[in-house]
């Protein structure tokens, strides 16, 4: 853990400053990518939590195009899906899943696609809806919707989740669903793609201050819903790590 004071204020022996107070964990980036850093990779579906959801069609580019498909997801209580396909190439990664249904959230889609190329990520949702709400074909980055599940709690569905790893690689997840399950949480990722930054330069992300890589789209839409009657809304917290002064 390091903290830096202006040089003029450094006293002799200050190099051995003990880090007291807020001992922050070293930032791991907004989220740890599921794939090896610096490699283009894609995963059609994965899960993490009390219910075993298999990782399907996970591929990584390692010198030649990697491609994997599965016609139908093995039966599990949370999610059903067909034609799960991932491709990882030298300059891009793509993952697509068809006929997705997460019954608990009343979330369905004809197709869910994530693409990542040269540090730029895009998501396509075809005929997608969640809890009666139609989802945009090209949702804003890191937009989130909450689905109330009554006594079971609230599920959070993040669309077009984009995070940067410390090495600058971008991971795009078309849909991330966090489902409360008996006090615990199940996270399901549908269509994830990871790619290296454009021309090797890291785009802006946690711990990487500076100018954005040219390929990074400049616009970003809120995870905070639009204002209501001119009133600024309460924010939706975003998963992100920033070492603050504690």
Partner 1 sequence: MDVTRSATSVTAVVVAAVAFLAAGCGSSDSPQKAPNPKPLSKGDQARLPQATTYGTVNGAPADPAPNAAQDGTVLHVTKDVVVYDKPGGKAIAMLPAQQLNGPTWVPVIAKQAGWRQVLLPSRPNHTSGWLAGGGGFKEATSSYRVAVDLAKHKVTVTNGGKTAGTWTVAVGSKKDPTPTGRTFVLAALAPTHPTYSKLIFPLGTHSNSLDKFGGGPGTVALHGWPDSSIFGHNVSHGCVRFPENALTTLARIPLGSPVTIT
Q: Smallest distance, Å, CB 5 to partner 1? A: 6
Smallest Cα–Cα separation from 78: which of 45, 119, 110? 45
| Chain center to CA of 138 | 15
Written as six digits, the tokens of 19 are 């880090």
Query: Which range binds partner 1 by CB under 8 A, 35-43, 64-72, 81-89, 134-142?
Result: 134-142
Interaction of residue 16 with partner 1, rule CB under 8 A = no
Interaction of residue 191 with partner 1, rule CB under 8 A = no
Written as six digits, the tokens of 36 are 């090896």
Interaction of residue 242 with partner 1, rule CB under 8 A = yes
Interaction of residue 75 with partner 1, rule CB under 8 A = no
Q: With contacts defined by CB under 8 A, how many residues of the chain interact with partner 1?
A: 69
Binding letters toward partner 1, positions 197-236, x by CB under 8 A: -------x-xx-xxxx-xx-xxxxxxxx-xx--xxxxxxx
- Nearer Cβ to partner 1 (87/142): 142
Bridge partners for 123 per DSSP: 114
Binding letters toward partner 1, positions 109-128, x by CB under 8 A: -------------x------
To which residue do tokens 């993040």 refer? Answer: 158
One of 143, 169, 171, 191 touching partner 1 (CB under 8 A): 143
Q: Smallest distance, Å, CB 33 to partner 1? A: 12
- Nearer Cβ to partner 1 (30/84): 30
Smallest Cα–Cα separation from 154: which of 188, 130, 178? 178
Beta-carbon count within 10 A of 71 CB: 9
One of 25, 63, 71, 183 touching partner 1 (CB under 8 A): 25
Smallest Cα–Cα separation from 154: which of 133, 180, 175? 180
Query: Is the distance from CB of 79 to CB of 45 less than 8 angstroms?
Result: yes
Spatial separation of the C-alpha atoms in residues 56 and 36, rounded to whole Å: 16
**Measured on CA atoms in the order 128, 51, 143, 84, is the torsion positive or negative?**
negative
Written as six digits, the tokens of 14 are 């200050």
- Nearer Cβ to partner 1 (55/138): 138
Site residues (vs partner 1, CB under 8 A): 1-6, 9, 19, 21-32, 122, 135-143, 159, 162-163, 204, 206-207, 209-212, 214-215, 217-224, 226-227, 230-246
């Amino acid at each position: 853990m390091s903290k830096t004071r202006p040089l003029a204020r450094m006293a002799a022996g200050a190099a051995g400053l003990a880090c007291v107070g807020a001992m922050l964990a070293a930032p791991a980036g907004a989220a740890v990518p599921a794939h090896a850093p610096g490699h283009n990779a894609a995963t059609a579906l994965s899960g993490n939590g009390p219910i075993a959801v298999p990782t399907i069609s996970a591929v990584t580019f390692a010198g030649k195009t990697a491609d994997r498909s599965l016609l139908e997801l093995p039966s599990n209580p949370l999610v059903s899906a067909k034609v799960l396909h991932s491709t990882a190439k030298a300059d891009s990664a793509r993952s697509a899943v068809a006929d997705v249904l997460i019954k608990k959230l009343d979330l369905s889609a004809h197709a869910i696609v994530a693409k990542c190329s040269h540090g730029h990520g895009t998501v396509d949702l075809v005929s997608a809806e969640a809890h009666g709400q139609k989802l945009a074909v090209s949702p804003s980055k890191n937009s989130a919707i909450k689905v109330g599940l009554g006594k079971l709690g609230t599920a959070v569905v993040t669309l077009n989740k984009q995070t940067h790893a410390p090495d600058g690689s971008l991971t795009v997840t078309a849909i991330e669903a966090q489902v409360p399950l008996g006090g615990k949480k199940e996270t399901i990722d549908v269509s994830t793609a990871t790619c290296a930054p454009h021309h090797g330069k890291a785009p802006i992300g946690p711990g990487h201050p500076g100018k954005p890589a040219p390929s990074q789209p400049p616009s970003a839409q809120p995870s905070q819903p639009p204002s209501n009657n001119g009133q600024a809304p309460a924010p939706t917290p975003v998963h992100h790590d920033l070492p603050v002064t504690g």
